[in-house]
Amino acid sequence: MSVLVGKKAPLFEADAVVNGDEFVEKFSLDQYIGKKYVLFFFYPLDFTFVCPTEIIAFQNKIEEFESRNVAVVGCSIDSKFSHWAWLNTEKNNGGIKGVKFPLVSDLSKTISENYDVLAGEYDYNEEGELEFEGDAVAYRGLFLIDKQGVVRHQVVNDLPLGRSVSEAIRMIDALQFFEDNGEVCPADWHKGDEGMKATADGVANYLSKN
């Protein structure tokens, strides 16, 4: 599994559905560089079980992300038509109607591969035939990308394990606190807590008070 933290987020142009019902060609995260932070997350498949709980949870907190100048973008290996159908299916029928942030289509699986979250790989069998080993879907990868297009935080969960939206927001707060104050964020730091100077004295002062 690649560590992308500290590196430029891999570039892509792909089909997407935005605002719940609009098709966009050549959607790219480049549009946010210099303007917004990006929370870019992968999920395995449309019309599944854990995935809608995560996507709706992100939508339910969308105002908190927007207040922090963060664009939320989801991605799976489904087609744009599958995304559109799921986005226009009522929640009581297994859909995610009401979700407005972009969902990217990674039908070729190249985005998942470049972010190293594809849950398997192509290989040749003994007969020399190309086949896929593993699950041809993305793990639950999440990447916090700063306004310069650099990945500052990543987490990758296995397929059955849903993510914490609150933890994603905490990491955004921590990054923005560091950028604004130049102080680092100790264990279990939350917005409103004291930061810490990245020096021996700073650590000692923090530990003596906590």
The residues that are catalytic are: 51
Place of tokens 């009522």: 90
Contacts of 193 (CB under 8 A, 6+ apart): 185
Place of tokens 């990945």: 151
Helices 165-181 and 50-60: angle between axes, nearest 10 degrees? 40
Task: Return the SS3 of 92.
Answer: helix
Range 174-181, long-range pairs (CB < 8 A, 24+ positions): 175/37, 175/144, 175/146, 176/37, 176/68, 179/146
**Residue 169 corresponds to which tokens in the numbers above?**
């927001």
Range 54-58, long-range pairs (CB < 8 A, 24+ positions): 54/140, 54/162, 54/163, 54/165, 55/96, 55/99, 56/91, 56/96, 56/98, 56/99, 57/165, 58/99, 58/101, 58/165
Phi first, then psi: give them for residue 168, nearest 5 degrees.
-60, -40
